[in-house]
Amino acid sequence: MVIIMQQGAPRAQVDDVVAVIEREGFRAFENPGVERKVIAVLGVVDSQKMEISHRLESLDGVERVTIISEPYKLSSRNYTADNTVIRVGGVEIGGNDVVVMGGPCSVESREQLLETAHAVKNAGGRLLRGGAFKPRTSPYSFQGLGEEGLKLLAEAREATGLPIVTEILDPFDLPLVAEYADVFQVGARNMSNFRLLELLGRTDKPVLLKRGPCAKLREMLQAAEYIMKDGNHQVMLCERGIVTFDDATRNTTDINAIPVLKQWSHLPVILDPSHSVGYTRWIPAIARAGVAAGADGIILEVHPNPSRALSDGGQSLRPEQFSKVVGELRAVAGAVGRGLA
């Protein structure tokens, strides 16, 4: 249930609404930073729904009360009609301009990361991605450089000015990763690690939440809700391909997810063509499709020497391929009435 206040309703009227909500045993959550106050009622309202809704509707300053029947509330489009715009460094994600993020799957060395970071920057990428803690299927595969990788990411940020996106694998690592990351990436395998999501909800940093390989979009929005319920509303929803019967590509890009999520939620939607497709040669086409379908951002794996990459080399773009894709994305963005940040 959300309560939409009248434009310019004074603080005292908002406080009255909050008091009624809390007296009924629910939590009130005020949408920060919008002109018209919207207050969400958190908790299971089910049986008394109509009665409480009528009581709230009769209070001074209340314009209307909307019952949100979806299991996700704060991430729902019904909570706020305005698109959420997330600011990282000087970059806005979720506004009119499409944002390109690029970088290696894993941080491997100083040379590899700095070379990639400069290439991403020069090509028009606005955020640098790179994993220091890697979720690998085999425990014998390269697991990432850990803290050393985070330090290298900080150095690359220093050198290029690009904010960094890096994966947080385990709640245990949160204090360490928080020292370095500008955006926390929650990997596909952790989309349902609810404890991790809750802890990220208590930080003040944006979260790039990747869709689980077998997760429904409604489940993804409830995962976002875990992050948002304690106040961190800076969540980006990332489609990264799902498991289907077809094994022609690594995963199957659910391009449908983009317009569906944009309609169901106010949060920015990002497409990761690299993990969706898994093969360098088909990635540019799917990246272009993502922008055409309405994605707010595209995240791509880039490596100066993909054949020697320690992870995901087969889906990494060389810097010149990345640069070409960025040019194509600019053209597609223009064709659908958007720009490239």
Per CB under 5 A, residues contacting Mn ion are: 105, 312
**How far are the Cα atoms of 220, 237, 296 from residue 217, in angstroms, in the given order?**
5, 10, 17
The entry of Mn ion, ligand PEP, none near residue 135 (CB within 5 to 8 angstroms by kind) is ligand PEP
DSSP 43-108: S--GGGHHHHHHHHHTSTTEEEEE---SS--TTBTTT-SSPP-EEETTEEESSSEEEEEEE-SB--
With 0-12 / 13-18 / 19 or more C-beta atoms within 10 angstroms meaning exposed / middle / buried, residue 179 is exposed
**Residues ≥6 apart with Cβ < 8 Å to 33:** none
* Binding to ligand PEP in span 196-225, by CB under 6 A: 210
DSSP 166-199: EE---GGGHHHHHHH-SEEEEPGGGTT-HHHHHH
Minimal distance, residue 304 CB to ligand PEP, in Å: 17
b/e code 231-244 from CB counts within 10 Å (16+ = b): ebbbbbbbbbbbee
Closer of 37 and 250 to ligand PEP (Cβ): 250
Residue 314 near ligand PEP by CB under 6 A:
no
The entry of ligand PEP, Mn ion, none near residue 229 (CB within 5 to 8 angstroms by kind) is none
Closer of 187 and 201 to Mn ion (Cβ): 187
Residue 313 near ligand PEP by CB under 6 A:
no
* Binding to ligand PEP in span 83-122, by CB under 6 A: 105
- Cα of 222 vs its chain's centroid, Å: 13
> Which residue in the set 89, 124, 135, 231 belongs to the binding site for ligand PEP (CB under 6 A)?
135
Q: Which stretch binds ligand PEP (CB under 6 A): 75-83, 183-191, 196-204, 327-335?
A: 183-191
Minimal distance, residue 290 CB to ligand PEP, in Å: 14
Q: Are 69 and 312 in contact (CB under 8 A)?
A: no
Minimal distance, residue 131 CB to Mn ion, in Å: 7
Minimal distance, residue 17 CB to ligand PEP, in Å: 40
Closer of 105 and 287 to Mn ion (Cβ): 105
Q: Which stretch binds ligand PEP (CB under 6 A): 92-100, 154-162, 182-190, 332-340?
A: 182-190
Question: Dihedral through CA 55, CA 61, CA 67, CA 71, nearest 10?
Answer: -110
Residues in binding contact with ligand PEP, number by CB under 6 A: 9
The entry of Mn ion, ligand PEP, none near residue 325 (CB within 5 to 8 angstroms by kind) is none
Q: Are 105 and 303 in contact (CB under 8 A)?
A: yes
Q: Which runs of consecutive H residues, i.e. helices, occur in 194-318?
A: 194-200, 217-228, 257-264, 273-277, 283-293
AA identity, residue 234: Q
What character string, x for contact with ligand PEP (CB under 6 A) and - otherwise, covers 237-266?
---x--------------------------
Closer of 31 and 190 to Mn ion (Cβ): 190
Closer of 125 and 131 to ligand PEP (Cβ): 131
Closer of 254 and 301 to Mn ion (Cβ): 301
Residues 62 and 220: their CA atoms lie apart, in Å, by: 31
> Which residue in the set 61, 102, 125, 131 belongs to the binding site for ligand PEP (CB under 6 A)?
131
Residues that bind ligand PEP (CB under 6 A): 105, 131, 135, 187-189, 210, 240, 275
